[in-house]
Amino acid sequence: MLEATKGASGEYYVKHVFSDAGTYHVMYHVTARDQHSMKDMKIDVVK
């Protein structure tokens, strides 16, 4: 799991370098007050 960093404009981001090419699935979780959001995204990494 990677922890996000809050940017100067209020956005959150994660920096990561994938060591191998392939298809990765990334899921984010956001909890704010009584709301919870999760979304799965596919990332294709090529070398």
pLDDT at 34: 92
pLDDT at 17: 94
Q: pLDDT per residue over 5-32, tens digit each?
A: 999 999 999 999 999 999 999 998 888 8
How many domains, in total, are found in the chain?
A: 1
Residues 6+ away with beta carbon under 8 Å from 35: none
Residues 6+ away with beta carbon under 8 Å from 23: 42, 43, 44, 45
Could you list the residue range(s) of the whole structural domain that residue 12 is in? 5-45
pLDDT at 1: 85
